[in-house]
Amino acid sequence: MWELFCIKIILNKRDYYCTKKRIVKLDSKPPSSFSIKHIFDEYLDIILGIIFSLIAFYFHNLHYLELSALSTAIAIGAFSMTVAEIAEILAERFEEPYASFVLTFSAVVVEIVLLYMIIANATEAKQGLETVKGGIISAVIVDMNVLLGFAVFIGGLSFKEQEHNEDTSSTYTTILLVATSALLVPSIINYTDSNNKLMEASVMIAVILMVFYIFIFIFQTRTHEDFFKATAKSRIMRLKKKRGELEDDHEDYIFDKLPSWANLIVIFLLILIIGFLAEVFAHDGMILAQHYGISTGLAGLIIAIIAVSPEVVTAIKAAKDDEIQRVVNIAMGASTVSIMLTVPILMLLAYLNGVNLTLDFNAFQVGALLLTIILAWKTTDNGETNYFEGISHLMFFAAYATIATLYH
């Protein structure tokens, strides 16, 4: 809504221009890149990440587990936000579908780090593995319902309807339906095969998922890239282009000025920091989960929300800019990567850590995943979205979260 209001002002008053957060007169000076206000506006996530990291390690050393876990979660979320913002800058330098790849992979790496630390630091192997399985499924549930739901809902409040490429959602829902069906195989074997060849079946399914993803990558980037590009241009961006005053709205954000290779190094360093924080979070969090009797489903959901929250912010920004195509690409692309790459990579990391991670998801998890894909198919199949479809996804997530809290 801010962009629409800002554009209306500029169309009527040519001696004004817009920054991200306010309208400024042409003869007034832009904000200084060295002012305290500017630093807080642009780098608040980094500041919060540093402050809460120090607080987390302090409480961790004092064995205040509740405060340590909470501070660590905030720090991870703050640094993940920085990763998402830098990834968004890199995404703007590429065209779709590569732009969405950058955004989804940056978030999935954080998810993998968090879940691996749960495996490595779980006080009880079974509890840790069940939490990881819940985290894998919950990541998809959060991407497809919270991310897509919030973005579609907020975009629908700004615009009556938003258009996206229906080939995108059709392709992704087909992919996710096949992947979810593949995950059913180990669970069926676990319940029906007396020889219990669960681990062998899990490895075979993981390999199949990885091979399937290679074909998907080729399909998405080589042979059918048009399936993942917007069919309608953003109304906001068209007006921005028409009125040149809005083209440069990043001000003096340092990562905008860095070359792509330097930003990739920064992302790598931030993920290393997140890895250290994730180890503390996993250690203290698993002890707390045992102490308070938190279900593995709820624990996995909390981890998924921490990992996906930066993506949610990015998707909401895109929806407000009438770039619903990017929202669909991020939500469904991240869900695809969460199943097809996260599963094999976590299985390998767990094996190297001396743990056998099998893919015997429970009926609640697989059922929720299948229903999520069906709901996403129904709400996106016509290439248009509105706020009611966003509410539908949010209500589904509320029901899932309620059951996950009680399901043991």
Q: pLDDT category, 242, cuts 50, 70, 90? A: low
8 Å CB contact between 301 and 138:
yes
The average confidence (pLDDT) of the chain is 82
ω into 344 cis (within 30 of 0): no
- Determine the pLDDT at residue 243: 52
**H or E element at residue 17:** strand 16-18
Closest CA to 284 of 50, 75, 48: 75
Is 70 exceeded by the pLDDT of residue 108?
Answer: yes
Token pair for residue 355?
């743990």
The pTM for the full model equals 0.81
Average pLDDT over residues 119-127: 72
- Determine the pLDDT at residue 211: 93
pLDDT in tens, 330-382: 889 889 988 888 999 999 998 888 888 888 888 888 889 999 999 999 998 88
- Determine the pLDDT at residue 8: 46
Beta strands in 295-393 (DSSP E): 384-385
Domains of the chain: 46-406 (1.20.1420.30)
pLDDT in tens, 382-401: 888 899 999 999 999 999 99
**Distance between CA atoms of 279 and 99, rounded to whole angstroms?**
30
pLDDT in tens, 145-169: 999 999 999 998 888 888 888 888 8
Token pair for residue 3?
């962009």
Is 60 exceeded by the pLDDT of residue 31?
Answer: no
Q: pLDDT category, 195, cuts 50, 70, 90? A: low
8 Å CB contact between 184 and 366:
yes
Helices of type H across 18-124: 36-61, 65-92, 98-121
